[in-house]
A and B are shown apart, each in its own frame.
Chain A
Amino acid sequence: MYSVNYHRAASVADAVKKVKAGDGKFLAGGMTLIPTMKSRLAAPSDVVDITRIASLSGITVSGKTVTIGATTTHAEVATNAKLAKVCPALCSLASHIGDPHVRHKGTIGGSISNNDPAADYPSAMLALGATIVTNKRQIPADKFFKGLFETALKEDEMVTEVTFTAPAKAGYAKFPNPASRYAVTGVFVAKGKDGVRAAVTGAGDNGVFRSKEVEAALAKKFDAASLDGVKVSAKGLMGDIHATPEYRANLVVVMAKRAVAAANG
């Protein structure tokens, strides 16, 4: 790691000011930023720790409306009793991110801001039709995730919370990379008031995306059997040393089936 100035922000406004003052980065759990800095692939002049800003953390459930603060850790999401009542799929997803250390440091805001193409949360946000709230505006998930590690966020913009209406049913299934445990392919399905949405992480060569094939099949009947014989094209899917696009195309359908099965309990 190169030497870097560390700041602890008192408020969102303070954090933004401090980041703008230099070549700064917001630091939440640091699960991606710190390893990247340690391997000298990132060299911000300043890091601004936002985890002590009380207003950014916590989960509220009001009727069907769920709001999760940006610095809420994966462990908190995984174990929140109120959330488990209205959207257990999200708790389950969070409980399988990384390892216990990662789950107690990593945050939902950090994960979606980083938008790693194999991260779990982006698929949930997209399938739940969540709204990403920043210090400046509200961004629908459909417009938030732009590509590999790319989001709609501007330089001095920070995610403050995410909010969504709990769906009638939802489920998540991922096939983890044997080495990193990131998703080789993960599918989040949600049956909400606007119909069925199915978002895929880990597989797209441009990041998280919604699978038309899966959604169309499930629109007829929200049942794993609806996906029997459904084929997803390998075009536009990622190929690397761990998985070919064809294998990922297969996994999209297999994981979608398992996600639906989980959603239907």
Chain B
Amino acid sequence: MGMEGIGARVARKEDRRFITGAGRYVDDMVVPGMKHAVFVRSPHAHAEIKKIDVKKAKAMPGVVDVLVGKQLKSDGIGNLICGWMIHSKDGSPMKMGAWSPLAVDRVRYVGDAVAIVVADTKGQARDAAEAVEVSYKELKAVTEAVDALKKGAPQLHPEAEGNLIYDWEIGDAKATDAAIAKAAHVTKMHIVNNRLVPNAMEPRAALGHYDKAEDHYTCWTTSQNPHVARLVMSAFYNVAPENKLRVIAPDVGGGFGSKIYIYPEEIVCLWASKKTGVPVKWVADRTESFLSDAHGRDHVTEVQLAFDKDNRMTALKVDTIANLGAYMSLFSSSVPTYLYATLLSGQYVIPAIHANVRTVYTNTAPVDAYRGAGRPEATYLLERVVETAARELGVAPAELRRKNFVTSFPYQTPVIMCYDAGDYAASLDAAMKAADYAGFAKRREEAKKRGKLRGIGMSNYIEACGIAPSAAVGSLGAGVGLWESAEVRVNAVGTIEVLTGSHSHGQGHETTFSQLVAGRFGVPIESVSIVHGDTDKVQMGMGTYGSRSGAVGMSAIVKALDKVEAKAKKIAAHLLEADEGDIVIENGALKVAGTDKNVPWFQMALAAYTAHNLPAGMEPGLKEGAFYDPSNFTFPAGCYICEVEVDPDTGHTDIVQFVAADDFGNIINPMIVEGQVHGGIAQGIGQALLEGCKYDASGQLLTASYMDYTMPRAGDLPSFKVSTSNTPCPSNPLGIKGCGEAGAIGSPPAVINAITDAIGNNDLTMPATPQKVWAALQAAKKH
């Protein structure tokens, strides 16, 4: 392990350009002749489009063209798809309603795109967009998932009767019901997981450029997975065949899942570029992002957790209704099913589990994966009900958990997952120690003297990262494989380029991936470059989401490095007239073990390219590629403890302590991992305390700006105490588990458990705003 290798706190290589404003985002891209686009969006949540009159708009200054959905359809552009097939428990396939990139005869949410205006300047495009006359016939709207299932609710799609997309189940209903029937204690709860807006710092953007001479398209877009974008746009949307379409995702300013999906705008910009003959750029403004980015969460659940007389868990029964919004976004169907219900066993031995999930259409923005994707919903549900059960049973929350922990591995849960490794008690102990759990009673007394209500809550999460293997996810309905690719090019002077199918939009891949290579060959980290985000450079990849880049992306790099190393050793052995098996790589040189005979790395590389003196029959050059398909998910887990003080006069909650003890397997760069945990916890606290996406009954988005939607700020957060106690993942070569989402997954229940502990009322929903906490306090007083 060198100073720059695995385990070192190397400062991020990419930060200089980011913090000096030198990053290059889609909005920084300029193509000669480029024009600017503005989308005309529906002001209604649900309406028929009677007529679109573009005459006036087309005549406005600077306007190149105004295009509508009918033209798009007649050019053969396809509807958007959902890439994961889920079957209902009756065997029928999910009911997917049509989603045209530009609405043709009906709009289904406020923000639904109906036309694109292309003009010389963005201002002119805006002016003209206001002049597009759309006659709507308003229809009744429904925004809450529970309401959408009721008889007589407005119907969104003819394909989905009763707005029901699927009615899916997992686990053993009979065994679960039987166990509940004979349980010594059953804790029942109604759990709401609040809807969130992703709020990446960089709004979505697309620049479509059709090159007539080459009959070739280029799309610069804010994507977490440019290759998937190219695949889907060519295979399903008929934009262009893959060999005629290049997708570039340059620097991308945050994604959190919201930039996985292929949205209407990039498709329409590409199509409009060919149609108008000019490159077309669109950049969302902030309110447009609120309206049209895929939202997250939005579950309503009834849950029962059963115990025997010894407080051992015997069964978990879950009935969830998930809101998928107006259309099925790319991976929306998988989030409340395989990314959610398969984690319902948590860290516990629960012999019988059954979950039923219904997903429904509503007149709201589409809902898809958002940092954690299904796993935060599962964790919130389970950790709220476990904490509540401990209160009902009168046992310490930590002890109830400890008693039920999975302790021997591998452990096969009743809901597909097979946990490979972990030490949940170790995380629990570490967190309780760091939080001085034993001293809490004293702190509570002290706070009381100051008129504050102090509470403590914990959450013991488990999640699944590096979703895999491809054959398994394929059998569950995934439309794509979930492997990763890498290519390692050693240049003639020994510098190294790594081409990866992973995509960095804040994760620090340029640093961590370089550390891997630098450590392996003993070369300086500056001599390693990471290339990503361009389908013309990297052949194929699956992108970055679900905390997969370390576990899957780096594993692919390891495979390619293995091949490079094997060839490099062959060359060195030949040059040193030694046996290949005696060659070792140390400090940037290939040495004959136990001697001072060596050839520096760069000389070996030069020899590979001069090809003057290579082993007989060896091809010149040094470049190797690999594809890596994991054999299992990875299972990061940990324990989070939150301590709060509530001001009883105003209901304001101060988070006075937050402890995270995680198990992420082996760690490449502890500083970057801590940064990921900090950011994740901030988002989790945001969900628990501050963020709540709200539509009114007519489907207008009430939280469409930062005046009404509260993002976490530094002042809302304490200094986090984070630590790791790691068990290496047995299923990938580096032993990595993944750390990108854990913070957002583990923290919300810890916060709500702490507040409900403080106020003595368990009836509290997220976000726990001061008004809600105050109201819960008033209600508690009445009882």
Tell me whether A241 and B774 are in contact (CB under 8 A): no
Within 8 A of B (CB), among A1-45: 1-3, 39-40
Residues of the A chain whose Cβ atoms lie less than 8 Å from the Cβ of B769? 178, 242
CB-CB contacts of B699-721 with A at 8 A, as 1s and 0s?
00011001111110000100000
Tell me whether B708 and A175 are in contact (CB under 8 A): no
Tell me whether B650 and A241 are in contact (CB under 8 A): no
Within 8 Å by CB of A179, from B710, B770, B771, B775, lies: B710
The SS class assigned to the B binding surface is: loop
Within 8 Å by CB of B771, from A2, A39, A247, A254, lies: A247
Tell me whether A180 and B774 are in contact (CB under 8 A): no
CA of A175 to CA of B775, assembled, Å: 16
CA of A250 to CA of B781, assembled, Å: 15
Tell me whether B690 and A178 are in contact (CB under 8 A): yes
Q: In this complex, what residue of A is CB-closest to B689?
A: A178
Residues of the B chain whose Cβ atoms lie less than 8 Å from the Cβ of A179? 690, 706-711
Q: In this complex, what residue of B is CB-closest to A258?
A: B649
CB-CB contacts of B126-155 with A at 8 A, as 1s and 0s?
110010000000000000000000000000
The SS class assigned to the A binding surface is: loop
Residues of the B chain whose Cβ atoms lie less than 8 Å from the Cβ of A254? 649-650
Q: Count chain A residues whose beta carbon lies closer than 8 angstroms to a beta carbon of B.
A: 17
Residues of the A chain whose Cβ atoms lie less than 8 Å from the Cβ of B709? 179
Residues of the B chain whose Cβ atoms lie less than 8 Å from the Cβ of A183? none
Tell me whether B710 and A178 are in contact (CB under 8 A): yes
Tell me whether A241 and B708 are in contact (CB under 8 A): yes
Q: Given A178-B769, A241-B694, are A250 and B774 also a contact pair (CB < 8 Å)?
A: yes
CB-CB contacts of A35-64 with B at 8 A, as 1s and 0s?
000011000000000000000000000000
Q: In the complex, what's the smallest C-beta–C-beta distance from A59 to chain B, in angstroms?
A: 29
Tell me whether A251 and B650 are in contact (CB under 8 A): yes
A79 at the interface (CB under 8 A from B): no
Tell me whether A242 and B706 are in contact (CB under 8 A): no
CA of A110 to CA of B126, assembled, Å: 29
B760 at the interface (CB under 8 A from A): no
Q: In the complex, what's the smallest C-beta–C-beta distance from B293 to chain A, in angstroms?
A: 18
CA of A247 to CA of B773, assembled, Å: 11
Q: In this complex, what residue of B is CB-closest to A39?
A: B287
Residues of the A chain whose Cβ atoms lie less than 8 Å from the Cβ of B690? 178-179
CA of A3 to CA of B122, assembled, Å: 12
CA of A177 to CA of B711, assembled, Å: 12
Residues of the A chain whose Cβ atoms lie less than 8 Å from the Cβ of B694? 241
Q: Given A2-B127, A241-B694, are A178 and B770 also a contact pair (CB < 8 Å)?
A: yes
Within 8 A of B (CB), among A216-265: 241-244, 247, 250-251, 254
Q: In this complex, what residue of A is CB-closest to B709?
A: A179
CA of A39 to CA of B285, assembled, Å: 10
Residues of the B chain whose Cβ atoms lie less than 8 Å from the Cβ of A178? 690, 710, 716, 769-770
B675 at the interface (CB under 8 A from A): no
Residues of the A chain whose Cβ atoms lie less than 8 Å from the Cβ of B287? 39
Residues of the B chain whose Cβ atoms lie less than 8 Å from the Cβ of A3? 123
Tell me whether A241 and B123 are in contact (CB under 8 A): no
Q: In the complex, what's the smallest C-beta–C-beta distance from A1 to chain B, in angstroms?
A: 8
Tell me whether B771 and A180 are in contact (CB under 8 A): no
Residues of the A chain whose Cβ atoms lie less than 8 Å from the Cβ of B652? 175
Q: In this complex, what residue of A is CB-closest to B712?
A: A178
Q: In the complex, what's the smallest C-beta–C-beta distance from B122 to chain A, in angstroms?
A: 11
Q: Count chain B residues whose beta carbon lies closer than 8 angstroms to a beta carbon of A.
A: 25
Residues of the A chain whose Cβ atoms lie less than 8 Å from the Cβ of B707? 179-180
Within 8 Å by CB of A244, from B126, B710, B771, lies: B771
CA of A2 to CA of B711, assembled, Å: 29
CA of A243 to CA of B769, assembled, Å: 9
CA of A251 to CA of B649, assembled, Å: 8
Q: In this complex, what residue of A is CB-closest to B772?
A: A247
Q: In the complex, what's the smallest C-beta–C-beta distance from A187 to chain B, in angstroms?
A: 13
Within 8 Å by CB of A243, from B710, B716, B771, lies: B771
Tell me whether A247 and B708 are in contact (CB under 8 A): no
CB-CB contacts of B625-652 with A at 8 A, as 1s and 0s?
0000000000000000000000001111
Tell me whether B770 and A180 are in contact (CB under 8 A): no
Residues of the A chain whose Cβ atoms lie less than 8 Å from the Cβ of B706? 179-180
Tell me whether A247 and B774 are in contact (CB under 8 A): yes
CA of A242 to CA of B770, assembled, Å: 9
Interface centre among B652, B711, B770, B775 (most CB of A within 10 A): B770
Q: In the complex, what's the smallest C-beta–C-beta distance from B286 to chain A, in angstroms?
A: 10
Q: In the complex, what's the smallest C-beta–C-beta distance from B654 to chain A, in angstroms?
A: 13
CB-CB contacts of B679-707 with A at 8 A, as 1s and 0s?
00000000000100010000000110011
CB-CB contacts of B644-680 with A at 8 A, as 1s and 0s?
0000011110000000000000000000000000000
Residues of the A chain whose Cβ atoms lie less than 8 Å from the Cβ of B649? 250, 254
CA of A39 to CA of B705, assembled, Å: 11
Tell me whether A241 and B703 are in contact (CB under 8 A): yes
CA of A40 to CA of B709, assembled, Å: 20
Within 8 Å by CB of A175, from B650, B702, B703, lies: B650
Q: In the complex, what's the smallest C-beta–C-beta distance from B261 to chain A, in angstroms?
A: 26
CA of A254 to CA of B648, assembled, Å: 10
Q: In this complex, what residue of A is CB-closest to B130?
A: A40
Within 8 Å by CB of B775, from A39, A40, A247, lies: A247
CA of A250 to CA of B647, assembled, Å: 13
Q: In this complex, what residue of B is CB-closest to A3?
A: B123
CA of A85 to CA of B775, assembled, Å: 40
CA of A2 to CA of B775, assembled, Å: 44
Q: In the complex, what's the smallest C-beta–C-beta distance from A128 to chain B, in angstroms?
A: 25
Within 8 A of B (CB), among A64-104: none
Q: In the complex, what's the smallest C-beta–C-beta distance from A214 to chain B, in angstroms?
A: 15
Residues of the B chain whose Cβ atoms lie less than 8 Å from the Cβ of A2? 127
CB-CB contacts of B750-783 with A at 8 A, as 1s and 0s?
0000000000000000000111001100000000
Interface centre among B123, B771, B774, B775 (most CB of A within 10 A): B771
Q: In this complex, what residue of B is CB-closest to A1?
A: B123
Tell me whether B123 and A180 are in contact (CB under 8 A): no
CA of A31 to CA of B252, assembled, Å: 30
Q: In the complex, what's the smallest C-beta–C-beta distance from B375 to chain A, in angstroms?
A: 26
15 pairs across A/B with beta carbons < 8 Å? A175-B650, A178-B710, A178-B716, A178-B769, A178-B770, A179-B711, A180-B707, A241-B694, A242-B769, A244-B771, A244-B775, A247-B651, A247-B771, A247-B775, A254-B650
Contacts A179-B710, A179-B711, A241-B702 aside, 17 further interface pairs with beta carbons under 8 A come to: A1-B123, A3-B123, A175-B652, A175-B770, A178-B710, A179-B690, A179-B707, A180-B706, A180-B708, A241-B694, A241-B703, A242-B708, A242-B769, A242-B771, A243-B771, A247-B771, A250-B649
Complex A-B, nearest 8 residue pairs according to Cβ-Cβ distance, in ascending order: A179-B710, A180-B707, A178-B710, A254-B649, A247-B771, A243-B771, A241-B702, A179-B708
